[in-house]
Structure 1
């Protein structure tokens, strides 16, 4: 019943006829299951240990709010939505989700809240082991976050029939490939859970919990189901096209190095230089491989 409602965004009165139960029973059971999944959400949305290469992106989910709250939830496109900040790992799982912000909130503001939240997004301050989150150009080049180079072609459709000609182009190509993976994962979420595609009749607090639960269920399916038909139909050919030599570090090495977490998103020269060095090393290795082909 619970999954049926999420998958098809059904109202209680529709479910009432399908299951021959009263709306009171359906409501009670739905909320019982919702609370139960929320209690185990930390088991499936793992805030640590840190991963080596994650992608941070936001998802807009349409919601229904009271008339006096609509201005806060209205996006630049005029939709009434909540903004969901999510971090996606290379194993096609989401490792962090913050679904409670209004659609009008800026990306950097949401990220700052995630870094200071009770269940905060934890990112080490060290560059030594390439702890980093790939973010879009709307974020600053701050510690732990790598944005693409501005003024350099980026989107994958711009690369059709072309190859990177500079370290900035190669970095942007790899960055876009990783960003493309999380967009496809968002697409899988929407395909599986219709309640994320259209506004539901629940109050906003319940809608926020439902969004969180959909991410939990996504990870549960990834853990328990070896074959996922929705994933099979996605073209994951470009997933995380980054140089293995640059990002493959010993997990034992990482676990033995305790570092402080990042709590601000101010741009620093250290991470600007780090991005340039990383991009140049990637391009040098890329050129070597091309010469051997």
Structure 2
């Protein structure tokens, strides 16, 4: 009798814990730390052994970054470092614009726009990759570039870092995620959907991918990846959230609910973007640490 009473109570407590976790501010999770760590772990599972060793040598210079509250112990913590340092806006505020390059989903995509002075995610991937590959640079400078390269490659694969509907990439869209209120569309894709995609993926996302899988999922350069995300935002993210896309005569409302059906449809999309990000990070790192000059980056 007592056991039958305890089990429903335990299930209720567990459900409340999940609810409270989802209601935490999205900035604490932002492609929440779990999402960025996962892309880094995918990359580590797919780089050359020589690349893995080169990463370890750079990570040994962590203390030279001067960020004691944001340490880099390995590639997964390097992947979250650029979000961690944003808490010190007085020092790192200039990097905020480097995490995205949103373009209206109602207009043609142009990778050259909205990137004044190189202050956008696509330009910063290319810049930091070049710094990372330059062995004449101090180790701590290359370690910082490693972290930015890995993190920004993850960011550009999240659709709402590239496409928006005059709503700050979905940040201004009040969103209920299933039965969980108080979120926004951006945070749902950054955290809740990414985390569910990672934990439910079969086979798991963190694994060694075959050459055939990499041929399908990897390839391209920052401009291509931004265009992919922009296209997904316009063709899937907004229609999935609202049941339709925006139009001049019928603008989208400022709030929505993602039903369980909408969530189920979105999970494979998030899963694919996370896998693509991880494999493309692996390709970038193998290029950066390969002997000889860095090949010209893809556009």
Q: TM-score range with shorter-chain normalisation?
A: under 0.3
More helix by share: 2
TM-score (norm 2): 0.26
TM-score (norm 1): 0.26
More strand by share: 1
User: Computing the radius of gyration over CA atoms, which structure comes out larger, 1 or 2?
Assistant: 1
